[in-house]
Structure formats: structure tokens, C-alpha cells
Amino acid sequence: SRSINLAVIPGDGIGQEVVAQGLKVLNAVLPQDVKLETKEFDFGAKRYHATGETLTDADVEELKQHDAILLGAIGDPSVPSGVLERGFLLKLRFLFDHHVNLRPSKLLPGVATPLKGQPEIDFIVVREGTEGPYTGNGGSIRTGTPHEVATEVSVNTAFGVERVVRDAFARAQARPRKKLTLVHKNNVLAYAGHLWTNVFNRVAKEFPEVTTDYIHVDAATIYLVTDPGRFDVIVTDNLFGDIITDLAAAVSGGIGVAASGNINPSREFPSMFEPVHGSAPDIAGQGKADPSATVLSVGLLLRHLGFEAEAARIEDAVSADLAERGETVRTTEQIGDALAVRVAR
């Protein structure tokens, strides 16, 4: 019989609350014959303060034993900026080779957007997850002096670029519009831009049905606001992807509904699914957080593990819930309950 061995990392702030609802909906959507086993891990600010550790080698070995990871949010104002980001989140992305950072943007009916005229928004961003300026390749000399020199080298390998570009083409091929846009800055970033553009054009020949397009990242931010309907699938570098997916979330319903997957398509290591939002310490513990982004991330998790029908039921449930939500204010738990009822139907 089928089974899912899931590592659960609620993390900090609202992470706890939203993950509880994500698990509730997961339990409700899974067929009887699927055995769900969960193990909770206490990573985050509390563990860091208690032990000084963010993620040990033993933790990594234990996480590896799972089929997937559900993460709430990691981060707290009591921990210096960057410690948990680099010591936990980025560390896991690198160790588990999460090279496909998948971030869908879909403006669902009834959801408010700051854009004029309720445009059609339905695209996915395939953000490279293990290279670019995120590798920690750089340094500083004369640090703290008026003559400080700091470098932050963007690492782009043919192997790394090709595998993410290939993944994006395959995703574009599987969608009705079959369109893939490369977002980069090849007019200025000559070396990395050359590599990305070359690989993109070469792989494109293997996907003749996919329409291709290229846009500089600065122009892409304009189109995301003025004409988001032009995008179907976007593939881009780690840092550009970080920036444009926040904008994409903002125009398509906000981070309350933005889901993401840190995916290792080979399944050699567990992939990790998380809402795009952070731990929001200002509203933590008040039952105010919208668990929809986490629930949608559970949907991405299920699709990754091959539970396509269940993933679709989750997306339909969130979509229906948002459409009927109107001005009603509900607690985190009430939204989770409503979604659990819907997916069980």
C-alpha cells in the first residue's frame, strides 16, 4: 500500500499555526489506504537559543529518511538576521539539492489584487535554487574601513543552468499555453547572461512546441504589474527569482496564498514545501494568519509525490473557499476546518 513519510517543521511565529492546518487538510484529503507518518522537528529560533544550533549533521541524516518536508516558517527578531536563513533554510536547499524552486502565481476568483481591472494571472516561476549569488562565494577586505571591498560572486554552472532550464521547458510543455520566458539581465551580466541564454536556446530546440521569450529582469517587473497575463512559465536565476516572486505574490493575492516548493526532481533527497510568507512574529499566536498558502504548498507536495488528484482537490478547495470568503474574518483554524471539509467531499 502507499505511504508518505513526512518531516514536519512548524518553525517560528505563525509557522506553528499554519502547519497545523496544512496537516489537517492533508489528513482529510488522503485516501484511506495511504499511510501518513509524520515526524515533527523543532528547528528555528527556540532550538537556536537553547543549543546554539540551527541544523546539525545528525538532523540532516534524519531528514533524509523522509519522502518530503513540510515547513512553516523560520525566523525571529531575537536571532540576528541571516543566521537562520543561511544556517537552516539555505543550508537545506543546498544539501538536498533543491534546484527547482517552484512558485506558482494564480489570481483566484474573488481575490483582491492591487492591479487595475482584475487581470488574468496564471503563471509559474521556476527559480533556480542552488546557484547564483546564493552560494556564499565572496569576501571582504579592509572590512569596516572606508576602503572596504566586498565581492559576492554569482556562480552559474552549465550543469546547474541546464537542469533547471530543462525542468522549466518540461513544465511549459505540459501547460495549455506552452510558453516559457527566460528572465535575466544579459545586457549587463555578460558571462552568466551568455550561459543562461545559450543553454536556453539550445534546450529550446528539443521543445519545438514551446514558445520562447526573453525579458530583462527590470522590464519583467514592469510587465508583472502592467501585463502579467503575458507570462505562462518563467525560468530565472536564484536572486532574480527571489525578487520577482515576491512581486508576483503581491499582484496575485498576496503572500497569504503564495505557495512554494524547493524541489529535487530526482527525488534523491526530500523536497521541501513552504508558504512564501515568513514567520510574521507580529501576528503570531493570534489565530490571524491565513493558512491557505501552507495548504496550497501541501498541494504542491502531493503533486510532487504523485498524488495528482489529491493536489487538484486541494487547489479547488482553496479556490472555492477564497471565492466565497468575501469580507468574513475567520481564524486560522476556521479556514483550516473549512478547507478540510471541502477536500474530504
Which of residues 9, 29, 89, 263 is near ligand IPM by CB under 6 A? 89
- State the virtual CA torsion across 313, 314, 319, 320 in degrees, nearest 10: 60
Cβ(299)–Cβ(339) below 8 Å: no
Query: To which residue does cell 527569482 refer?
Result: 241
The reply to whether 35 sits in an annotated binding site is no
**Is 218 designated active site?**
yes
Report how far residue 291's alpha carbon sits from residue 288's, in angstroms, rounded to the nearest whole number: 9
Cβ(25)–Cβ(298) below 8 Å: yes
Position with the least CB separation from ligand IPM: 85
Q: Binding string to ligand IPM for residues 194 to 233, with x set by CB under 6 A, is what?
A: ----------------------------------------
**Is 97 designated active site?**
no
**Is 42 designated active site?**
no
**Is 185 designated active site?**
yes
Minimum CB separation of residue 186 from Mn ion in Å reads 23
Residue type, 144: G
**Is 59 designated active site?**
no
CB under 5 to 8 A by kind: which of Mn ion, ligand IPM, none does 122 bind? none
CB under 5 to 8 A by kind: which of Mn ion, ligand IPM, none does 90 bind? ligand IPM
Residues that bind Mn ion (CB under 5 A): 242
Helix (H), strand (E) at residue 247: helix 238-251
Rounded to the nearest angstrom, the gap between the alpha carbon of residue 4 and the centroid of all alpha carbons in its chain is 20
Minimum CB separation of residue 60 from ligand IPM in Å reads 18
Residue 143 makes CB contacts below 8 A (sequence gap 6+) with: none
The reply to whether 105 sits in an annotated binding site is no
Query: To which residue does cell 476568483 refer?
Result: 109
Q: How many CB atoms lie within 10 A of CB 108?
A: 19
Residue type, 120: E
Residue 90 is a binding residue for ligand IPM (CB under 6 A) = yes
Binding residues for Mg(2+): 218, 242, 246
- Give the residue numbers of the binding site: 93, 103, 127, 218, 242, 246, 278-290
Active-site positions? 134, 185, 218, 242, 246
Using CB under 6 A as the criterion, which residues of the chain lie in contact with ligand IPM when the complex forms? 85, 89-90, 242
